[in-house]
Amino acid sequence: MDDPQFYSELLRAYFDSTRDAIFVLCDEMKFLTCNKTTEHWLGISENELTRHNHRTPIVRLLGDHYDAEKFGVFFNSAIKGKSASFETLIRPLQGKDRWIDISMSRVDIENGDMVIAVARDISERKKHLAMIKKQSRYDELTGLPNRKYIIEYLKKYQNNLNKASHELVLLVLDLDRFKEVNESLGHKAGDLILQEIARRLSRVTDISSGEVVARLSGDEFAIAFPGIELSQSRITAQMIRQIVSQPFAVAGRKISLNCAIGVAALPTHTNDSSKLIQLAEVAMYNAKSHKLGISTYDPRLSGSVSERLHLATDLCESLKKSHIKAFFQPIINMRTKSLHAEVLARWQHPQRGNIVPDIFIPLAEETGSINKLTSKIMESALRACAPLFHEHVLESVSVNISPYCLSNEKLPTEIETYLEKYDIQASSLTLEITESVMMSNLPSTQKNIEALHKLGLAFSIDDFGTGYSSLSKLKYMQLKELKIDKSFILNIDQHENDSAITNAAITNAMIKMAHALGLEVVAEGIENEEIWSRLSDIDCDYGQGYWIAKPMSANKFISWVKNYHELIKSSSGIS
């Protein structure tokens, strides 16, 4: 078919059917022709765009929010024979905003130089890229800025910092016991708490003043306060701790969580914004490990945190190689002289020597190793004591249980397995818990306590008198005993010391209260015979301390037990 009219109409149909905007511009950037898509985008018909005396340069039709100068540069490049391509946002007066990717090339014809342009709508792609960019800088769960965002924010602040600028104070906050919530109530409940924390922190920050709150990771948040003095930061941190500690309503329960806050300032503590978060985290870890609540960065902390990280690595390795062992300290019934014992974990590091529990137990809790550590110590202790139970020379052993372990749903099953494996009665095992655990309202903790009671295990409140027990709750818990903290015991033999007299009175009152509740009392920290005698006189039930024996390895303890019973038989033992 040679009909030119047919091919012209066919070409025009294709020209108008494409989803891209195609148009031809003269050397004055005015329209010579365009397709239907171009008409739709601009909201102007082709006739209007190309009418001879009313033609308007394209740069006047694309709105005010694009770079007209850049458009002209690329057009001039194209008119000179060099193809050009670029992206721009257009906002036509009679059309909708859209991002376009436009390519322009010169067309040489007899009537003069012209440029043919093809523009593609990339608005959705730009929207998607913007969403990806936002996701890279914002936390999906809470909607808060993330670590990347606040690093960029701090860098920008540092670049603008000059002698007239005020310092910037950064607070890094980490929740206490959040892992327990996740394990006991589930991650959905944990997510709800994190979202509520984000809302609470957002309410105490003033965006107009440049303050920013961000979620760094997990249950760790950061708040930047530009323009405040470091001296003011502690008051601010205390206010935030109070806000965070308000109860959360989750799964029909009220959950209360505290937090540890680390404080660091730019440029007081560092001139490098990239290090500021690290310094605030160092201070936060110090607050957490020493139960300070709030800690301001001190250069001396960096070394201790680095040391702590190395120690955490060594802890995992030592658990694999069983370098942490069960030790035993005797507990004696003051009336019957029957023998009991407390199981204690001892870590003899190959290079560092003896590492005290006050250091490695909190470390095990922080690193999530506490369940494994407790299981290893408990099994090795029951294995070592099994023959003593079977020979009826040892009545019970007590094992300290961390709050983290007591929320572990596997704990009752593990203990039951060990008791069956070594043929030990459940009544021979006492679990020592703190007053704070007893007061816990975590469902998993209460559920485990009930399950362990059903197994026949006894519970003892450790370090009694140093916490905030509810006496009504104490009354209804199925406890076997209270263990009076040694701080009340150590000096009660000093009759003329006011502190000793007070401690003796407190100890006497606690023993009477415990007996009134049907509980027995263990006094730890007995370092001489006179303290033993005074405690015996006020009807204390059990005694423990260096005067009786120091903690010892399993083999030494077994030998000590045999010697002790020989002494009892000969009536020359403890009286």
CA distances for 27 relative to 100, 104, 147, 475, 545, angstroms: 22, 12, 51, 95, 100
The 3-state DSSP class for residue 177 equals: coil
pTM value surpassing 0.85: no
The pLDDT of residue 163? 47
Range 4-126 classified under CATH 3.30.450.20:
yes
CB 506 within 8 A of CB 468: no
Helix H or strand E encompassing 247: none
The span from the CA of 289 to the CA of 366, in Å, is 9
Question: What are 400-431's pLDDT values in tens digits?
Answer: 998 878 878 889 999 999 999 999 999 999 99
Sheet order of strands, 168-175 included: 212-217, 220-226, 168-175, 259-266, 294-296
Pick the CATH number of 138-297 from 3.40.120.10, 3.90.380.10, 3.30.70.270, 3.90.1150.10: 3.30.70.270
The pLDDT of residue 468? 45
Domain with CATH 3.30.70.270 in the chain: 138-297
Range 310-564 classified under CATH 3.30.1330.10:
no
Would you tell me the crossing angle of helices 370-390 and 357-367 to the nearest 10 degrees?
120
Give the chain's residues under pLDDT 70. Answer: 1-4, 63-67, 110-111, 132-135, 162-165, 301-307, 309, 435-443, 465-477, 495-496, 571-575
Would you tell me the crossing angle of helices 178-185 and 443-455 to the nearest 10 degrees?
70
CA distances for 85 relative to 99, 120, 124, 410, 455, angstroms: 14, 11, 19, 64, 77
Domain with CATH 3.20.20.450 in the chain: 310-564
